[in-house]
Structure 1
């Protein structure tokens, strides 16, 4: 039924992802085969449930990876078929070793804000928004159009438990570390970390421990009003940079109830402004 189209599959936490030809449809797809371990059945059932939930969204309009189907192979492996996307933002970052332009960031940010807005509509928190889980659709022909992938650790907003640890520490919202009530706002914090990382070309909060993580956040944001970012906004930066930092300040509000929402961010002046910068072709 499937023919592998590459020699080296990508390895993930719970399985491997292969580029394959679906012989029934003739489509080149991404096939995720799960490793067999003690809790594989639970992990797979949870991921498929979340994928079915987000599949009620439009994968193209809402910039969510298209989930085609789940099945068990003749060898008993749990398999999931997805649309084939291009490389991840993480891969491109490693390849180019330079910051993204504000116009490139704007294009990706808008796509991902639409993704998070869609997830809110279906009551899902992704919990793992990071450059490795953001993939280009077709970087050659549709530069910087991205989709959100990997719902393996996603959760329903109504089931997000206070005190539950989620998110990679470098992209973790402060309310998670502090054991406070959780909501979809944690994904907006993670997206803010991604945008700042793409702007700086390094992680803004590269912490090894929750204590160090909170210390870095406090240093950047100030207590309690984000004085460093405010100073940067008031400094000699040009209008586009200042507008971008203003959006970040709203995404990094330490109070999740006051943090900017995806719908609000889509109306922010940084997102709606146009740029004279033309993006051509694939970045090598």
Structure 2
């Protein structure tokens, strides 16, 4: 985010990041472990050049078992601290969901929702943006009466956050709002978060709806990791491997692990063969491919060969292609009729002839 000058990530790139982090919380929940310090600095990008981004949750220095969570313990960074922690209430793994919601909102909007230097400032921003916790929960907090006023009778108590001037009069701390944008509610993010096409507005609305459920002040009403993965926000998401087109699979060949070094002349010739493959997409000999989970490793083998194989054994290229196509999974390539099978064979033969012609030209 620093290198991007805090420019927001597109919603399409947030999909895989949120899915991976939620899956991490799902595993921690099964182990009854609280991370207790989720923030952007503790989310490691495995490879920033990889698309979609692969991230990992790191730094378990403050992690603890749910049974070891003591009210009033200093956990979580202030910007991403849950209301129950701010108020000294009992807490559990729900605080990680709050922090994750604050982090995802920050990378989507480009600025933090609760930029505070004091606990009162953080509570003020939370109350103004998402509302205050229920009175029954506030009454259980160790710090509730310090930050809130109690009004009404004993049976009908009403808790309200102390106004900045009253809190400054009692404590000497003056509220400072450091927000880049003054948001009246999370719904305003629909207009703040940049998006490119109006067709994605529904996706943006689903994203804001998910944020609302992640940033619920009442820990008992906060969404759980499994429900996050089942939210409509992920219903429109396509698997990153399945969504790749045939052109992308061909244009980005796999790196061969062999130690053979291809000849430069044959490398140039192989690029011309790739052009033949691209040109054949619009012809009648095109093959209908059904992408699967291993499309990048299987489909590429069927259409293009690593350069090392071409340079090492050019006379066996055609047989290698036929052998790869014969041992593919049944669901990878669909041939609709016998005529289509013959077209596939003619297509493979055209590749063989192109390979032999390139080898002969290189030898001459």
CA contact (8 A) 1:103 1:275 kept: no
1:113-162 Cα distance to aligned partner (Å, 9 max, x none): 00000011111100111111111222324531111011111111111012
**Unaligned residue ranges in structure 2 (runs of 5+):** 135-182, 193-197, 253-364
CA contact (8 A) 1:233 1:246 kept: no
Larger Rg: 2
In 1, Cα distance between equivalents of 2:10 and 2:189: 18
- What's the TM-score once normalised by structure 2's chain length? 0.48
In 2, Cα distance between equivalents of 1:133 and 1:180: 24
Among candidates 221, 244, 255, match of residue 218 of structure 2: 255
Say whether 1:136 aligns with 2:93: no
Among candidates 62, 67, 76, match of residue 167 of structure 1: 76
> Greater helix percent: which structure?
2
In 2, Cα distance between equivalents of 1:117 and 1:148: 12
In 2, Cα distance between equivalents of 1:276 and 1:120: 25
Give the CA deviation at 1:199. Answer: 1.1
Q: Secondary structure at the match of 1:153?
A: coil
CA contact (8 A) 1:174 1:254 kept: yes
Say whether 1:157 aligns with 2:66: yes
Quote the residue 2:34 is aligned against.
Answer: 125
Higher relative contact order (CA 8 A, sep 6+): 1
In 2, Cα distance between equivalents of 1:215 and 1:145: 35
Q: Secondary structure at the match of 2:52?
A: strand
Among candidates 188, 204, 207, match of residue 241 of structure 1: 204
Q: Secondary structure at the match of 1:199?
A: helix
Cα RMSD of the aligned pairs, angstroms, is: 2.9
Q: Secondary structure at the match of 2:114?
A: coil
Quote the residue 2:12 is aligned against.
Answer: 103
**Unaligned residue ranges in structure 1 (runs of 5+):** 1-92
Quote the residue 2:122 is aligned against.
Answer: 213
In 1, Cα distance between equivalents of 2:184 and 2:111: 21
> Greater strand percent: which structure?
1
Give the CA deviation at 1:249. Answer: 0.2
Aligned length: 189
Q: Secondary structure at the match of 1:151?
A: coil
